[in-house]
Amino acid sequence: MDVYTIAGFVSSALLILLGLYILKADPRSSVNRMAALIAFLGVAWCLGKSMEDLFHGKNIVFLWGRFAEAGLILLLPVFVHFTYIFPRPKPLRPHVILIYLPATVFMGLLFVEFFTWEHILLVSPTRIPYSMYQLIFVCFAMFNLARISAKSEYAMELIQLRLISIGVAVSALVAVFTMGLNIFLSGNVGHPAVFAIPLSIGFIIYAIKRYKMFVLPPMTRFLVPMPEVRLKTKLKFRLKKGGSYLIKEKEPKRGPKIFKEQVMHDVSGLWLTTLHPNKIRERYGLARTPILHLTSERVSDEVAVPPNRLDIVIYDISTFFFRPQRSVVFVDCFKELVVINGFEKALDFLRKLEKMCSRNNSNLIVQIDTDMFTEKQLTAIEKAINISP
């Protein structure tokens, strides 16, 4: 058993575990289902190549080799299809079906091989077209990821796209190099891509663990600045453009009241809370306002960020200001952030949020219960929130 065989078995096991994890994270998501399918097709190629190397009988080697090629033929169009719907599910466009036509042709040739027990794909005259099919589809998928990255409006999506692009590029470059040698040397130089696959999986696992790729629900309901309505009535609470407001109340009444009045008068709003978003929507009659749920639990159809990952929260909020327009951000959970992150770290988050709102001529409203903080802490909070109504 050589190193290629061992690496193939290891890569197969890792891909199976990764595919099952992605599928379990959100089986209803088309992105997750497609990503899991890519992982399982990768298993077919890695396992087929390893079994092909392991056995020496002509018939069994032939069958495992065809099994590996079938996985590769189907993996390429599925991966390209994946780049059309990642990172957020999108409606299937009719022309995307065309990417499966070359795979249909090569799968047909593969079936001919099964019935004739003759090598067709890897010998002239189909060897070069088959290798070019692999090369073109890999390059097209990478181009698609780069194109999506260039157009992405969301910071979290951009980070996820970059990580998955790096991970895929590692294996793709090794595979393309191998294909080139096979074409020009007309020989078999092995399949060193099996060594690159574990490294590629490492980038994807890092994106899952640190940036919740495939775990957080799609951001289609989030970060879309849109006021609830555009009332023309007189405002009871007038907020200074770019100003921050600290509301000291035991009962959470005035903060939500001010926030709701703003979003009802043609101002886009964003609410940060540890409460379930549906409770807020029902209680205050909010339908369009995005709500960022700070929780360590997965919440169906909501965007949830662990409250101890304030760096991710800042990234998400920054995307809210992608389109320059006056907005209002309301934080009703500063006490919970202090308990989880400590006072200094939570206060630093508040300072960053205040600067972000100020730069975008938007308002920040933070509501706290003064009984929960010391005099020294209240003074520090007041310095961070520079205006009080």
Count of Cβ atoms closer than 10 Å to residue 236 Cβ: 8
Mean pLDDT score across all residues of the chain: 82
Q: Which residue has the higher pLDDT, 231 or 226?
A: 231
Does domain 244-384 match CATH 3.40.390.30? no
Alpha-carbon gap, residue 215 to 205, rounded angstroms? 11
pLDDT tens digits, residue range 67-97? Answer: 988 998 999 999 999 888 887 666 667 777 8
Q: With 50 as the cut, is the pLDDT of residue 24 above it?
A: yes
pLDDT tens digits, residue range 230-276? Answer: 888 888 888 988 899 999 876 668 899 999 999 999 898 999 999 98
Domain segments of the chain as ranges: 3-215, 244-384
Q: With 60 as the cut, is the pLDDT of residue 359 above it?
A: yes
Does domain 3-215 match CATH 1.20.1070? yes
pLDDT tens digits, residue range 97-147? Answer: 889 999 999 999 888 888 787 877 777 788 888 888 888 988 888 888 888
Query: 165-169, 174-178, 333-337: which range is least confident on average?
Result: 174-178
Which residues, 6 or more positions from 282, have their beta carbon under 8 angstroms from its beta carbon? none
Strand partners of residue 244 = 364
Q: With 60 as the cut, is the pLDDT of residue 185 above it?
A: no
Pairing of strands 304-305, 244-248: unpaired
Which residues, 6 or more positions from 13, have their beta carbon under 8 angstroms from its beta carbon? none
